[in-house]
Structure 1
């Protein structure tokens, strides 16, 4: 019985840590300047989808923010996250796949045009 209690307490602690740590870390990770227009709630949402492997889709407003920032910025953001976090769910290849899926879904559904790529 004591082992079950300890396991339950450990699971609760783990869940709280996973829920809170990425949000705190997101604020301190070297976010590219181009991503400053992405709100912390949207950034955290993208983090959960790309790094933690959540299956929810980003909300329309977050997709507009992402597309407005541009694909290059999205890639920089993903690289900055990857430099300080390992994927929680899957491999690095899975992280890049989820990143591309997120960008493609947002670009397809957003009414905002992405910026011209820098030359």
Structure 2
């Protein structure tokens, strides 16, 4: 992951500031995987309390960013039209 994307995601998850990650940054995040993303949040932010709000807030924002990125990169398929 590039330093710029990592910082963008860090600010969004830990500090609750900045815009949502770009499609390129989301692609990089999805490529590293959810276990890596979760481990980074746990080790880098949760253990040293490097975030705003509660631990629950941090974990919620982490999951929100992950889900937004996955949906950005792999949008859910539309349901087939049964009444066409």
Please give the secondary structure, in 1, of the residue aligned with 2:8: helix
The residue that corresponds to 1:34 in the other structure is none
Q: For residues 86 and 77 of structure 1, what CA distance do their matches in structure 2 show?
A: 12
Q: For structure 1, which runs of at least 5 residues remain unmatched after alignment?
A: 1-37, 112-119
Q: 8 Å contact 1:86–1:92 — kept in the other structure?
A: no
The residue that corresponds to 2:61 in the other structure is 98
RMSD, matched Cα: 1.3
Normalization by structure 1: what TM-score? 0.57
What are the within-5 Å matches in structure 2 for residues 25-64 of structure 1?
38-64=1-27
How many residue pairs are counted as aligned between the two chains? 73
Q: For structure 2, which runs of at least 5 residues remain unmatched after alignment?
A: 75-84
Q: Which is worse superposed, 53-62 or 98-107?
A: 53-62
- Would you identify which runs of 4 or more consecutive aligned residues in structure 1 move more than 4 Å? none
- Please tell me whether residue 70 in structure 1 is matched to residue 33 in structure 2: yes
1:68-87 deviation line (CA, Å, top 9, x unaligned): 11111111111122223432
The residue that corresponds to 2:80 in the other structure is none
Q: Which of the two has greater helix per residue?
A: 1
In our comparison, the structure showing a higher alpha carbon Rg is 1
